[in-house]
Structure formats: structure tokens, C-alpha cells
């Protein structure tokens, strides 16, 4: 059974590392180090109040007074993004990718915590055919890798990791060849061992030797070797042996974004096959209405090239909080601007969304005493000649 047909309950990790709101930074560091986990959830009475990840430790290392002076509330991200365990796995991955997060708490129908899902859970679920589509490491790696000399400090490495939003920094020689690596997990370990590790050098703290792979290597071979070695990243080197990229779980799992597009297209093709089998003669407008109606659980809005709303599916009317989108003839850009997406007009253009590109955004706004949130994705509607005809908005 492929990932696109699974619920998130089939992928999630049910054993969750939990802390309470009165935990200190020192207690949290000790737990993460002892359990070798990349995140902990802040939970009271099975209600998830926050999440603390390795990246949060990295981001807060420079805080005045030192990391150890902080408490749980200082470190945690809140509110936590959660999904219900019955949610479709592909929809959950798309939410993670759109919000650039690596962990999501999973709840039951009452909102009580039952598990957590991470990029690693998706990675373990992939079949070998997924990696064959990329062919080589160069097609999946990130080139935004942080490189520093061994004399650089941990403080400088942490600043670079935070700036590049990378989970590691490589120490390299004058020719760019890798000598060692410092990861987010290493930062957690150093913070647990030292009151302030920022003045230490990479030469004193890095792990060595570094596992490397040429960018021409087959991706599925490299993924299998990473899994066998229980490592989450590998330096990618060029023909001179210099670091030219990094391959982590994040880059590997990133291929699912293309899978999400395929998932939506499959839904449309399935609907089309049903219509053809019934020999129903539909014009383009009727076909679009049937496609929109098939997107159960997601509010779907279609516009013309002038961004005027022409169609919406029943989910829009079923969700009062999204009633803004159910007004044919309204300018979608004006609605999004009122909701807080000020530059939506710059995004909703054929050039911005050409060649299958999509744009995601998370909006929050006040309506009376209610605080409303919605996840949005926009893409271009094209005809069979690949010419733009309008825009498609998905809202959850």
C-alpha cells in the first residue's frame, strides 16, 4: 500500500517523549540526550501545549543569561501543529512541507495526544521505487550547506546553522574537504555537558571522520547505507573530494512534494474515468464542478485569470470559517489580503506559478472573538495546450 493511501496513524510513532511545563532547560537537554530524540512534546493531561526540537536548542543558544537559565516555556514552540490520526498521510506531509516543520503531533478525535510523526517516519515508509525516480544523489541534495574551518567556534557554527536552516555544519580544510561535522544533536549534547559551549572550537567538538558520498551515487544505495549506519545526514563531495552539498532525511523526504501533486492528479483522473465509464457528456464547467466536489475534506476554489471566483466545492459552504471563499465573482486577491496575505497579488500570476509551481501560506486572523487559522495552497489552472486559464486554491 503506497503512502498516498495511508492514514497518518499507520506511519506515526506512538511512543512520545513528553515533558511538563515546569521542566527546566537542563532537564529537557538531559532527556533528549539520554533518549537520543530530536524533539519532545510539552504535555499536560494528554493535551499538547508545545514542542521543543533540536533546532529550538540551536536557536536559543545565544540567549542572554545562557541556555540553562531558560525554562520549558522559553524553549517551546506554541501552539503546536496537530493532525487527527485519521488524516491522509500525503495531506499531512504537504502541511509539514508548506510550514517547513519536521514534526507534527497526532491526536485522536477528542484532541488528545496519541503519537508524533516526523520526516523519518515518512522516509521509513518509502519503497525503493521512490528513490529510483531521483536516480542520483545530486538530484536530491541541498547545496546550502554550512562550511567552516576547524578553528571556528561552536557559537559561529550554531549561528550559521540557524541562518541556513541546516541541521549541521561541516568543518573543512583549505580545499573544502570534510574533516568533521557538528550536528543539532551534538549541540544538544554540548549544552548538556557545558554551561556555555559557544567558545569551544569545531576541532574540539566535531565528530570525525565524516561519511561522504559522491553526487553521482545512486540515491537508493546511499539511503540504504545511511539506514544501516543509523545516520541522518551525509556530506556530498565532488570529484576533488570537496563538500558540494548535504543529504539529510529532509532532502530525501522532500521528494514527496512531487508525490502530493501526483496524488491530486490521480484523484482528478479517477473522477474522469468514472465520468467516462458512465458515458456522461459534460462540458468543461460541469467536469470542473465534479472534480471540486470529489475533494472531500478540503475547501477548493477555482478562479479565472482575473482572480474572480467561478467555482467552489461543498466543503467551502460546510465550513463557516471559510465562507469568504464561497462568493462567485469576488476577487480572490482582495479576500486573501483582508485575511492577512498582503502580497497574494504578487503570487497569483501565471509567471509565478508556471511549470507546476505551487505556493503555500498559513494565515491567522480575528473574527469577532474567534482566532481563525487556515492552511492555503495556490496553483495555476491550465488547459490541454498548457495555457493558463485561472487559479486553484486549496484551503484546510
In terms of Cβ atoms closer than 10 Å to its own Cβ (0-12, 13-18, 19+), residue 302 is buried
Between 110 and 53, the higher pLDDT residue: 53
Query: Per-residue pLDDT for 223 more than 70?
Result: yes
CA pair distance 286, 281, nearest whole angstrom: 9
CB atoms within 10 A of CB 111: 12
When pLDDT is averaged across residues 46-50 and rounded to a whole number, the result is 85
CA pair distance 202, 223, nearest whole angstrom: 27
Residues of the chain above pLDDT 90, percent: 30
Quote the pTM value.
0.57
Query: Per-residue pLDDT for 321 more than 70?
Result: no
Q: Which CATH architecture has domain 295-395?
A: 2-Layer Sandwich (3.30)
Sheet order of strands, 18-19 included: 18-19, 39-44, 47-53
Q: Could you tell me which of 126, 114, 90, 99 has the C-alpha nearest to residue 12?
A: 114
User: In sequence order, what are the residues at sequence separation of 6 or more whose Cβ sits closer than 8 angstroms to the Cβ of residue 136?
Assistant: 215, 216, 217, 218, 219
State the pLDDT confidence band at 384, using cuts at 50, 70 and 90: low
User: In sequence order, what are the residues at sequence separation of 6 or more whose Cβ sits closer than 8 angstroms to the Cβ of residue 230?
Assistant: none
Q: Could you tell me which of 128, 343, 296 has the C-alpha nearest to residue 220?
A: 128
State the pLDDT confidence band at 29, using cuts at 50, 70 and 90: very high
Between 311 and 172, the higher pLDDT residue: 172
What is the β-pairing status of strands 168-172 and 388-395? unpaired
What does the pLDDT read at residue 180?
A: 96
Residues 130-253: name the CATH superfamily.
Answer: CBS-domain (3.10.580.10)
State the pLDDT confidence band at 283, using cuts at 50, 70 and 90: very low
State the pLDDT confidence band at 297, using cuts at 50, 70 and 90: low
Query: Per-residue pLDDT for 268 more than 60?
Result: no
When pLDDT is averaged across residues 204-223 and rounded to a whole number, the result is 91
Q: Which CATH architecture has domain 3-119?
A: Roll (3.10)
State the pLDDT confidence band at 19, using cuts at 50, 70 and 90: very high
What does the pLDDT read at residue 230?
A: 84
CA pair distance 51, 64, nearest whole angstrom: 22
Between 45 and 320, the higher pLDDT residue: 45
What does the pLDDT read at residue 296?
A: 47
What does the pLDDT read at residue 260?
A: 43
When pLDDT is averaged across residues 209-218 and rounded to a whole number, the result is 93
Counting Cα atoms < 13 Å in the Cβ hemisphere of 146 gives 24
What does the pLDDT read at residue 195?
A: 86
What does the pLDDT read at residue 199?
A: 94
Between 267 and 19, the higher pLDDT residue: 19
State the pLDDT confidence band at 149, using cuts at 50, 70 and 90: very high
What does the pLDDT read at residue 290?
A: 47
What is the β-pairing status of strands 39-44 and 18-19? parallel
CA pair distance 297, 395, nearest whole angstrom: 9
Residues of the chain above pLDDT 70, percent: 79
State the pLDDT confidence band at 326, using cuts at 50, 70 and 90: low
What does the pLDDT read at residue 276?
A: 43
Contact of 4 with 87, CB cutoff 8 Å:
no
Query: Per-residue pLDDT for 128 more than 60?
Result: no
Provide the 3-class DSSP secondary structure of residue 204.
Answer: helix
- Cα distances from 36 to residues 27, 143, 224, in angstroms, run 14, 27, 21
State the pLDDT confidence band at 214, using cuts at 50, 70 and 90: very high
Q: Is 295-395 in the same CATH topology as 130-253?
A: no
Query: Per-residue pLDDT for 221 more than 80?
Result: yes
Radius of gyration from C-alpha coordinates of the chain? 23
State phi, psi for 354 to the nearest 5 degrees. Answer: -70, 160
The residue extents of the domains of the chain are 3-119, 130-253, 295-395
- Cα distances from 347 to residues 97, 127, 258, 343, 359, in angstroms, run 18, 35, 20, 7, 7
What does the pLDDT read at residue 239?
A: 94
For residue 296, whether the previous peptide bond is cis, meaning omega lies within 30 degrees of 0, is: no
CA pair distance 246, 259, nearest whole angstrom: 22
Q: What's the pLDDT tens digit per position in 224-245?
A: 888 888 888 999 999 999 999 9
Contact of 42 with 48, CB cutoff 8 Å:
yes
Amino acid at each position: 500500500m503506497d503512502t498516498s493511501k495511508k492514514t497518518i496513524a499507520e506511519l506515526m510513532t506512538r511512543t512520545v517523549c513528553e515533558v511538563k511545563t515546569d521542566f527546566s532547560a537542563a532537564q529537557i537537554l538531559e532527556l533528549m540526550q539520554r533518549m537520543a530524540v530530536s524533539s519532545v512534546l510539552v504535555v499536560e493531561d494528554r493535551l499538547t501545549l508545545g514542542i521543543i526540537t533540536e533546532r529550538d536548542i540551536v536557536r536559543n543558544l545565544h540567549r542572554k543569561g545562557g541556555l540553562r537559565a531558560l525554562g520549558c516555556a522559553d524553549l517551546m514552540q506554541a501552539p503546536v501543529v496537530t493532525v487527527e490520526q485519521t488524516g491522509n498521510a500525503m495531506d499531512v506531509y504537504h502541511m509539514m512541507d508548506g510550514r517547513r516543520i519536521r514534526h507534527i503531533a497526532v491526536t485522536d478525535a477528542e484532541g488528545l495526544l496519541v503519537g508524533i510523526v516526523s520526516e523519518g517516519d515518512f522516509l521509513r515508509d518509502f519503497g525503493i521505487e521512490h528513490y529510483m525516480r531521483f536516480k542520483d544523489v545530486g538530484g536530491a541534495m541541498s547545496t546550502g550547506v554550512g562550511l567552516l574551518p576547524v578553528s571556528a567556534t561552536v557559537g559561529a557554527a550554531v549561528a550559521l546553522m540557524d541562518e541556513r536552516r541546516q541541521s549541521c555544519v561541516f568543518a573543512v580544510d583549505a580545499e573544502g574537504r570534510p574533516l568533521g561535522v557538528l550536528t543539532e544533536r551534538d549541540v544538544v549534547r554540548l549544552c548538556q555537558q557545558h554551561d556555555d559551549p559557544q567558545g569551544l572550537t569545531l576541532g574540539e567538538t566535531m565528530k570525525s571522520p565524516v561519511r561522504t558520498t559522491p553526487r553521482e551515487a545512486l540515491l537508493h544505495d546511499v539511503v540504504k547505507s545511511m539506514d544501516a549506519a543509523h545516520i541522518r545526514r551525509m556530506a556530498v563531495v565532488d570529484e576533488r573530494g570537496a563538500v558540494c552539498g548535504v543529504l539529510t532525511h529532509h532532502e530525501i523526504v522532500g521528494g514527496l512534494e512531487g508525490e502530493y501533486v501526483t496524488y491530486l492528479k490521480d484523484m482528478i483522473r479517477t473522477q474522469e474515468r468514472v465520468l467516462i465509464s458512465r458515458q456522461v457528456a459534460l462540458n468543461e464547467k460541469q467536469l470542473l464542478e465534479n472534480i471540486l466536489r470529489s475533494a472531500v475534506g478540503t475547501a477548493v476554489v477555482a478562479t479565472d485569470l482575473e482572480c474572480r471566483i467561478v467555482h467552489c466545492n461543498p466543503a467551502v459552504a460546510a465550513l463557516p470559517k471559510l465562507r469568504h471563499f464561497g462568493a462567485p465573482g469576488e476577487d480572490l486577491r482582495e479576500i486573501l489580503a483582508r485575511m492577512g496575505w498582503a502580497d497574494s497579488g504578487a503570487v497569483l500570476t501565471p509567471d509565478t506559478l508556471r511549470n507546476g509551481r505551487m505556493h503555500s501560506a498559513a494565515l491567522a486572523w480575528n473574527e469577532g472573538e474567534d482566532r481563525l487559522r487556515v492552511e492555503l495552497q495556490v496553483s495555476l489552472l491550465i488547459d490541454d495546450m498548457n495555457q493558463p486559464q485561472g487559479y486553484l486554491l486549496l484551503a484546510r
